[in-house]
């Protein structure tokens, strides 16, 4: 018999129970306790989020949460997501049980839209959600590059052309030691880039104090953030203007498979080969660190996906975000 209850982890043991379910559900995308603790610590105090667990005769079988998204401008919208032990993934009654619980808990907030997310190879869940009236709003193919034998010769001259145009590709770790304004400049550049990243709902600019906390992420890797810097934009800035970034992140649970968080270039500097140059530098760095693969995701119509395919990234099942009008 299924039972469901709020779950507010504070100890490593309590977090370990959640991570164990996630890792069983997603064996190709393992996570760590430290990552979950960090993301919980970053959640704004004024935004709703509540974790929950489902038990079957006393055994934890599902971890999940419902929340109000703080990263987008979507009044009346709430999200929920969950992972279950594999033997329960195709149990329609479990999906219905969780769905009913979430709607009951959110009833006093009068949600207008309920959103969720999964991966398209979870066919049973996708079909069940669609049967309840959920509609896919965005599709983000996950892609992976095998870097064990990467052929840099295919891109001879790519980095040199960017350098010849006066744009430098530097790791953030180097910039941090020379530019006292690195965080403020990075904050503004990322916000400008994020506004052009395809998303379900319009993004919201994160307060600077919250942005600053993101550098406490245990996966943050300043040596692997490749920054494009153009000294010609602002002659009064001794370091130069930041015009692009490609962020590699440590994969604490799967160290040889490195993640890419975001790659983007300011509108003023696009179609100049900068994104490709940053990506090539990132691949060089990943190989030096003993990586064997790089994984990322992009919205299916995002030009960055085309650059990744040119580099040799191969698509695996996509992430999908679904919404239901209530």
d(CA 169, CA 148) in angstroms, rounded, equals 23
Strand order through the sheet with 225-230: 2-6, 49-56, 59-67, 77-84, 113-119, 314-325, 135-146, 293-297, 257-265, 241-249, 225-230, 168-171
Q: Is it true that domain 143-317 has CATH number 3.40.50.2300?
A: no
- Whether the Cβ atoms of residue 292 and residue 256 lie closer than 8 Å to each other: yes
Tell me where in the chain the CATH 3.40.630.30 domain(s) lie: 2-133, 143-317
- Whether the Cβ atoms of residue 79 and residue 67 lie closer than 8 Å to each other: yes
Residue 74, classed as helix, strand or coil, is coil
Q: Is it true that domain 2-133 has CATH number 3.40.630.30?
A: yes
Please tell me the pTM assigned to this model: 0.93
pLDDT value at position 234? Answer: 81
Q: Could you report the average pLDDT of every consecutive run of 10 residues in the chain (326 residues)?
A: 96 98 97 97 94 97 97 96 98 98 97 97 98 97 96 96 96 96 97 95 95 96 98 86 98 97 96 97 98 96 92 95 97
The DSSP secondary structure of 174-198, one letter per residue, reads HHHTT-TTHHHHHHHHHHHHHTTS-
Number of H helices, E strands in the chain: 10, 12
pLDDT value at position 192? Answer: 97
pLDDT value at position 140? Answer: 96
pLDDT value at position 43? Answer: 94
């Amino acid at each position: 018999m299924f039972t469901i209850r709020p779950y507010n982890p504070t100890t490593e043991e309590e977090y370990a129970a959640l991570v164990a379910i996630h890792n069983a559900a997603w064996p190709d995308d393992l996570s760590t306790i430290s990552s979950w603790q960090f993301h919980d610590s970053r959640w704004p105090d004024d935004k709703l989020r509540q974790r929950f667990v489902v038990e079957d005769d006393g055994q934890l079988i599902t971890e999940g949460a419902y929340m109000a998204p703080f990263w987008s401008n979507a009044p009346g919208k709430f999200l929920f997501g969950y992972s279950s032990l594999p033997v329960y993934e195709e149990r329609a009654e479990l999906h219905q049980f969780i769905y009913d619980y979430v709607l009951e808990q959110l009833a006093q907030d009068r949600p207008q839209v309920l959103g969720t997310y999964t991966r398209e190879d979870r066919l049973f869940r996708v079909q069940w959600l669609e049967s309840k009236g959920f509609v896919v709003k965005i599709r983000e193919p996950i892609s992976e590059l095998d870097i064990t034998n990467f052929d840099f010769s295919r891109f001879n001259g790519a980095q040199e052309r960017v350098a010849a145009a006066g744009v430098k590709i530097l790791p953030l770790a180097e910039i941090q030691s020379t530019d006292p304004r690195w965080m403020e400049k990075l904050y503004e550049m990322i916000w400008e880039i994020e506004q052009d990243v395809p998303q379900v709902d319009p993004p919201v600019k994160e307060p600077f104090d919250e942005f600053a906390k993101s550098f406490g992420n245990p996966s943050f890797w300043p040596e692997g953030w490749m920054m494009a810097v153009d000294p010609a934009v602002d002659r009064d800035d001794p370091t130069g203007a930041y015009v692009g970034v490609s962020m590699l992140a440590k994969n604490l649970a799967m160290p040889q498979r490195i993640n890419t968080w975001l790659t983007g270039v300011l509108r003023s500097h696009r179609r100049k080969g900068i994104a490709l140059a940053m990506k090539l530098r990132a691949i060089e760095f990943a190989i030096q660190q003993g990586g064997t693969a790089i994984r990322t995701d992009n919205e299916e119509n995002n030009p960055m996906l085309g650059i990744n395919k040119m580099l040799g990234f191969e698509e695996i099942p996509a992430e999908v975000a679904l919404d239901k009008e209530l």
